[in-house]
Structure 1
Amino acid sequence: MERNDHAKPSTKLCLAAIALLLVASCSKSRFLEGTNTTNLSEQTVFSDSTYAMSFLNNIYSDVGFSFSPTRFSENGGLDAASSEADVPRVGVAATSAGFATGSVTPATITDDAWKTCYKQIRAANQYLKHATTLPFDAYLQKRTAAEARFLRAWYYFILLKHYGGVPLVGDTIYTDQDHITASRSSFEECVNYIVAECDAAAAALPVRQQGIDYGRAGAGACLALKSRVLLYAASPLFNGENTFNTSLAGPLRTVVGYPAADANRWKLAADAAKTVLSLGTYQLHSTTTSVSGLTVPPFRAVFNLRVNNEYIFARMQSGTRDFETCWMPPTRGGDGKGAFPYQELVDAFLMKNGKMISSPESGYNPGRPYDNRDPRLESTIMHDSSLIVLYTDFIQPIMGQALKLYVDAGADAVFKRTTTGYYVNKMLKPDIAGNCIHGTERCWPLIRFAEMLLNFAEAENEFSGPTQDVYTAVTELRKRAGIDAGDDNMYGLAAGMSKDEMRAVIRNERRIELAFEEHWFWDVRRWLIAGDTENAQMHGMKVTRRNNVPPVFETFDVRKRNFRNAMYLFPIPQTEVAKSTQLLQNPYWSTTGQ
């Protein structure tokens, strides 16, 4: 049999390629800066402190690839692959479009998760091989080794949520001369391995790294990743028999989840989230800021701060207009590579009194659909007449200019660029546009404190019901968002809710609080509701304006999304499955790649 690394990407991290991986190095201000090196051997790299640190920095460089809003051939990211938003370029063959139409196959699926993660897992193993002999003092040797272990766990979890159980390789560094087993480890084995690595790394790291090391993983990031892993492990898709796995047998059954359900997994998830909440290091950002004379509410402001106490782990960025370019409309320099929000997401946002728009108590007015809404709506989505920045000279911002998305309004309008009548506003800096010359120091929020509150609320509710602690976690988020407390100080929540009622509240809170942060795609799958949310007719908003006549708001059909049971997990790319009969394909995907 041909000796290929079936458990890794086909691209080997051989010694000749080490130089290509050294793309980042330490500096006084930040640790992800460019480094150009050539003709480096393994001995040279790991005997030189700068090169060795650069090698570790490169393992950080891919931590946000799955989060990227232009992940799939610049045709949106996981937002466009889900019912969160529409694909921006319908005719472009990409994984996002394949998930939208239900036409994705093992032959057409992106292989970036498989290749990127195994490439970086191998790099982490190489770093750990030399960790005790690196030219660092003992503390730095220990700390950076712990960072490498966290990063290895991070990439394994990306594999786990895409595919279920995957081959675990431990500390082994395979070469193209080795015979490599491609047998997939069970889901339980993968969860246990990732959790153990998180615990071990956390024990050797400060809770949060500071100064020139800000942005590197600390114990808080390790424990937060553990929280996320255990939440997924407790969720319906993986926790025992269900409609997805009921017909499966043999090794494949244990690869895609636990054979038997255990309610105590929710307790483990709740405890893990509570540990992070109790660290005392992280908190919800609750301070308004001023940007070019505009008062920015806390929920929006946090995404514009490179350093803040809400981000637990982030992809460090510098001087960038990445989100502005992909998400903004054409008149603001948007290039149309980011997804367009669906009406269903807009409708999920609460009213300012904390009620759903469908509630008789909400006060929702279909003729003025954006009035008196949860302030997070404006911070997340641009709609017709949203007040956003405009640049006319690429240098000076003109703040508060109304966005014209109504029918026949111009280049930005519905049916011109946006397919839904909306653009994404999440994480954009209020005075930056895609066509200005300035950038911002934002970072990509891969894990933040708000998620830990939601992780705890969900797991605690599933295990113990809607306790006071569950209510408190949800109200903390609503208070920060700007929801009115109300006479009862409940922020729109009803007293005495059942577990099912609170579950619906928490799921919707996740949907709006964490929108466009790589959660919805995975959440609807682990909740086992994707058969409903991803197999539905999706809508947009058409606004018609005429002189001296109130505007008319009409929802319209955008796309009928299609979902098959197989799509609860990514298929392993056919190019990988073809290398070995030991590498089992995920359920319901054809072994021929069709």
Structure 2
Amino acid sequence: MERYDHTKPLTKLCLAAIAVMLAAACSRSSFLEGTNTTNLNEQTVFSDSTYAMSFLNNIYSDVGFSFSPTRFSDNGGLDAASSEADVPRVGVAATSVGFATGSVTPATVTDDAWKTCYKQIRAVNQYLKHAPTLPFDSYLQKRTAAEARFLRAWYYFILLKHYGGVPLAGDTIYTDKDDIAANRNSFEECVNYIVAECDAAAAVLPVRQQGIDYGRAGAGACLALKSRVLLYAASPLFNGANTFNTSLADPLRTVVGYRTADANRWKLAADAAKTVLSLGTYQLHTTASTVSGLTVPPFRTVFTLRVNNEYIFAKMQKDAKEFETCWMPPTRGGDGKGAFPYQELVDAFPMKNGKMINSPSSGYNPDRPYDNRDPRLEGTIMHDSSLIVLYTDGIQPIMGQALKLYVDAGADAVFKRTTTGYYVNKMLKPDIAGNCIHGTERCWPLIRFAEMLLNFAEAENEFNGPTQEVYTAITELRKRAGIEAGDDNLYGLAAGMSKDEMRTVIRNERRIELAFEEQWFWDVRRWLIAGSTENTQLHGMKVTRRANVPAVFETFDVRKRNFRNAMYLFPIPQAEVAKSSRLLQNPYWSSSGQ
């Protein structure tokens, strides 16, 4: 039996399989749009083991498109579309700019979520159609079919968080001669479908795949996706009546969320996360590493490792430096396509004692704002005087060079390239830069064990209040981060918090632990707080340095972001709505975006 390592670069056969995957898609007039053609036919592909495995591998190829920090080409990703970071180029038409300014419309919004997900869902259905007769042994037939079902659930969830309920195709493979049912299924039907697919795939797959199959979806990934889906389902935006949906009539009302609230949805979400935490396979990475003589703490180390026990599902990469290229400053080969962190995110990181910077007992010094902070700050954001790598020859790293971002300091400085006075440092390998010849084995963390701790803490707190298990989940993260335990061993947390107080802690912990991992954009929406976080003046840091005087740190206005109620969900692209009168547009959107 021929085996294929999907982590290797795509061969010409893979590229041919991509074409086959798209070949039988619907016509231009259909709402599940496909592409043309190939010299290979369906029978040839699925009767050859290499072609068939390549076909499945290419369904994996898009799993990280929504996560990508350059999803919107020259204008960042969902980080730039939210209050996490500023858009690199405001004058360029992009979805990130549209969300930042409030000007996004169904006619201008990206269609990548709709087209990519339905393209790959259709490919899964093609694969499953042939799965029982593929030229694999029985075990591999069943295992790869289960992987395909997980991937279908994955792409449906991307659709769900963008749009709410969407048309469920089931196992149907539409052609250009079919009358495609464009009616949107309810939010509840979509959640139930995704959860059922996750459960079915998990029952077949090993918890985590090993060896040549490492990186393929296992039962752990299925159960972790289930946890995420149920957390969203329990959240205020979707769980019953609210200020977003209260005026809506059926069928749109049930498309965007549950008709009635049910607190038990939080219990389902907590139980799902706890299942993953109890597998015994995954854990927080707690070991430091040494990179070019530099000791790298565990929180930073985990993002440099291709193989680790914290990643539950990842986009597998090889010899890459795409994050270094988009996020690093120009003196390190950065191309300026990545977003720039806002001061509000910097301020969200507590001190090393775990206290927020506005706490009287925190020890925060505004004249030295980066001293004694949560170590995750350095691992997430580059600021003036951050010590980072420098390459002068593209080959040999020079470690620990101070980054000069103060006014008039050169190409990297505030108002030169960065609009906020900061650059992203998350997931970057400490000895790699955009202008060096080396790459790294780093993969994209699509689901981490850390998220499961946060999912559990949030759901458990909402259902049962701040139990000891909730405290334990948060202190585990803070301990790994390098927060000091304190005399009470609470890592800066207050004893005896109320549910509301713990909710504030958990939401902030998600903000900093999962920064730049495609979480904040969706979190503020499902929490129904985007009207505050995304409709406000956001800031940067200007540093002024002069000889023989202390540096001066001043916050400044960067961008007044604008948010409308419609923006809680993406609009369905106008070109798709135009294909069928049965495909309902999301609430409060029109072709003009009003």
What is the match of residue 432 of structure 2? 432
Q: Which ranges in structure 1 are unaligned for 5 or more consecutive residues?
A: 1-24
Tell me if 1:45 matches 2:45. yes
1:130 aligns to what?
130
**Aligned residue in 2 for 1:379:** 379
Distance 1:28 1:53 in 2: 9
| Cα deviation, residue 26, structure 1 | 6.1
**Structure 2 match to 1:362:** 362
State the TM-score, normalizing by the size of structure 2. 0.95
CA distance in 2, matches of 1:29, 1:289: 28
Equivalent residues in 2 for 1:341-360 (5 A)? Answer: 341-360=341-360
With 36-45 and 390-399 compared, the bigger mean Cα shift is at: 36-45
SS at match of 1:411: coil
Given residue 114 of structure 2, which amino acid in structure 1 is its aligned partner? W
Alignment partners' CA distance in 1, 2:509 and 2:73? 30
State the shift of 1:329 in Å.
Answer: 0.1
1:169 aligns with 2:169: yes
Aligned residues: 570
The alpha carbon displacement at 1:34 in A equals 3.2
Structure 2 unaligned regions, length at least 5: 17-37
Residue of structure 2 in register with 1:302 after alignment: 302
CA contact (8 A) 2:107 2:591 kept: no
What is aligned with 1:34? 11
Q: Tell me, yes or no, if the aligned pair for 1:328 and 1:433 is still in contact at 8 Å.
A: yes
C-alpha distance in 2 between matches for 1:112 and 1:269: 29
Could you tell me whether the CA contact under 8 Å between 1:31 and 1:57 is conserved in 2? no
User: Given the alignment of the two structures, is residue 311 of structure 1 paired with residue 311 of structure 2, yes or no?
Assistant: yes
Counterpart CA distance in 2 for 1:224 and 1:361 is 38
- Cross-structure match for 1:58: 58
Query: 1:434 and 1:519 mapped to 2: Cα distance?
Result: 25
* Other structure's SS at 1:324 match: helix
Q: Tell me the distance in 1 between the aligned counterparts of 2:84 and 2:76.
A: 11
Give 1:224's aligned residue: 224
Structure 2 contact 240–258 (Cα < 8 Å) conserved: yes
Letter in 2 for 1:291: V
Q: How far apart are the structure 2 equivalents of 1:34 and 1:116? A: 21
Whether contact under 8 Å (1:313, 1:447) holds in the other structure is: yes
State the one-letter code of the partner of 2:139: Y
Question: Residues 565 and 588 of structure 1 are in contact (CA less than 8 Å); yes or no, is this contact kept in structure 2?
Answer: yes
* Code of the aligned partner of 1:247: S
Given that residues 26 and 54 in structure 1 are in contact (C-alpha distance below 8 angstroms), is that contact kept between their aligned partners in structure 2?
no
The Cα offsets for residues 499-543 of structure 1, whole Å up to 9 and x where unpaired, read as: 000000000000000000000000000000000000000000000
1-structure distance, mates of 2:516, 2:59: 24
Mapped contact 2:4–2:53 kept (Cα < 8 A): no
Equivalents in 1 of 2:591, 2:543: separation in Å?
47
1:181 shift after superposition: 1.2
Give CA-to-partner distance per residue, 1:264-294, whole Å, 9 cap, x none: 0000000000000000000000000000000
SS at match of 1:54: helix
Shift of 1:591: 4.5
Aligned to 1:239: 239
Q: Is the 8 A contact 1:348 1:508 kept in 2?
A: yes
Report how far residue 180 of structure 1 moved: 0.7
Contact 2:132 2:141 (C-alpha < 8 Å) held by counterparts: yes
Corresponding letter in the other structure for 2:448: R
Letter aligned with residue 75 of structure 2: N
The answer to whether structure 1 residue 271 and structure 2 residue 248 are counterparts is no
Q: What CA distance in whole angstroms lies between the structure 1 residues aligned with 2:330 and 2:211? A: 38
The one-character-per-residue Cα deviations of 1:226-252 (angstroms, maximum 9, x if unpaired) are 000000000000000000001001100
The CA deviation at 1:29 is 8.3
Can you list the C-alpha shifts for 1:541-586, whole angstroms capped at 9, x where unaligned? 0000000100000000000000000000000000000111100000
Q: How far, CA to CA, are the matches of 2:242 and 2:331 in structure 1?
A: 48
Q: Is 2:443 the partner of 1:466?
A: no
Determine if contact 1:117/1:155 at 8 Å carries over to the other structure: yes
- What is the match of residue 21 of structure 1? none
Q: CA deviation at 1:33?
A: 3.2
Aligned-pair CA distance for 1:90: 1.2
The one-character-per-residue Cα deviations of 1:393-413 (angstroms, maximum 9, x if unpaired) are 000000000000000000000
Residue in structure 1 matched with residue 262 of structure 2 by the alignment: 262
Q: Sequence identity of aligned pairs in percent?
A: 88
The letter for the 2-side match of 1:518 is: E
Aligned residue number for residue 563 of structure 2: 563
1:144 aligns with 2:144: yes
Instruction: Report the secondary structure of 1:64's partner residue.
Output: coil
Residues 94-125 of structure 1 deviation map (CA, whole Å, 9 limit, x = unaligned):
00000000000000000000000000000000
User: After the TM superposition, which residues 279-298 of structure 1 pair with which residues of structure 2 at under 5 Å, given as runs?
Assistant: 279-298=279-298
CA distance in 2, matches of 1:581, 1:180: 12
**Secondary structure of the residue that 2:446 maps to in structure 1?**
strand
Shift of the alpha carbon at 1:74?
2.4
- CA distance, structure 2, for counterparts of residue 243 and residue 210 of structure 1: 47
Structure 2 residue aligned with 1:120: 120
Q: Where does 1:370-409 land on structure 2 (aligned, <5 Å)?
A: 370-409=370-409
1:500 alignment counterpart? 500
Q: In structure 2, give the amino acid aligned to 1:482.
A: G
Question: Shift of the alpha carbon at 1:35?
Answer: 3.2
* 1:116 partner letter: T
- The residue number in structure 1 matching 2:457 is 457
Q: Distance in 2 between matches of 1:28 and 1:592?
A: 47
Task: Report deviation, 1:28.
Answer: 5.3
Task: Provide the C-alpha distance between the structure 1 equivalents of 2:419 and 2:95, rounded to a whole number of angstroms.
Answer: 18
Note the 1:92-107 alignment, pairs <5 A: 92-107=92-107
Number of the residue aligned with 2:580? 580
> Scaled by the length of structure 1, what TM-score is found?
0.95
| Contact 1:27–1:33, Cα closer than 8 Å, also in 2 | no
What CA distance in whole angstroms lies between the structure 2 residues aligned with 1:591 and 1:90?
22
Cα distance in 2, alignment partners of residues 90 and 389 from structure 1: 29
Correspondence for 1:323: 323
Rounded Cα–Cα distance in structure 2 between residues aligned with 1:161 and 1:32 = 30
Supply the distance in 2 between the matched residues of 1:187 and 1:227 (Cα, whole angstroms).
16
SS at match of 1:461: helix
Counterpart-to-counterpart distance in 1, 2:191 and 2:74? 32
Aligned twin of 1:7 = none
Match of 1:16 in 2: none
Structure 2: distance between partners of 1:179 and 1:433: 51
Q: Could you tell me which residue of structure 1 aligns to residue 25 of structure 2?
A: none
- Contact 2:105 2:591 (8 Å CA) reproduced: no
The AA in structure 1 aligned to 2:81 is A
Q: Are 2:75 and 1:75 aligned?
A: yes
**In structure 1, what is the Cα distance between the partners aligned to 2:287 and 2:88?**
34
Relative to structure 1, the CA distance from residue 592 to residue 175 in structure 2 (aligned partners, 3 Å threshold; closer, same or farther) is: farther
- How far apart are the structure 2 equivalents of 1:183 and 1:34? 38
Q: Return the offset for 1:32.
A: 5.2
Give the Cα separation in 1 of the matches to 2:232 and 2:123: 26
**What letter matches 1:277 in structure 2?**
L
Please give the per-residue CA displacement for 1:193-220, whole angstroms capped at 9, x wherever unaligned. 0000000000000000000000000000
Q: 1:585·1:591 contact (CA, 8 Å) conserved in 2?
A: no
Distance in structure 1 (CA, Å) of the matches to 2:349 and 2:466:
22
The answer to whether the 8 A contact 1:32-1:57 is kept is no
SS of the equivalent of 2:545 reads: strand
One-letter amino acid of the structure 2 residue matched with residue 53 of structure 1: M
Tell me how far apart the structure 2 counterparts of residues 158 and 111 of structure 1 sit (CA, whole Å).
13
CA distance 1:527–1:593, shift in 2 (3 Å): closer
Q: 2:205 maps to which residue?
A: 205
Tell me how far apart the structure 1 counterparts of residues 245 and 351 of structure 2 sit (CA, whole Å).
39
Do the aligned partners of residues 439 and 31 (structure 1) sit closer, same or farther apart at CA in structure 2, a change above 3 Å counting? closer
User: Structure 2: which amino acid aligns with 1:417?
Assistant: R
Q: For residues 360-412 of structure 1, give each alpha carbon's deviation from its aligned partner in whole angstroms, at most 9, with x where no partner exists.
A: 11000000000000000000000000000000000000000000000000000
The residue type paired with residue 55 of structure 2 is F
The separation in 1 between residues aligned to 2:4 and 2:130, in whole angstroms, is 22
Contact 2:8 2:318 in 1 (8 A): no
CA-CA distance at 1:73 after TM superposition: 2.5
- The one-letter amino acid of 1:319's match is D
Q: Distance in 1 between matches of 2:312 and 2:275?
A: 13
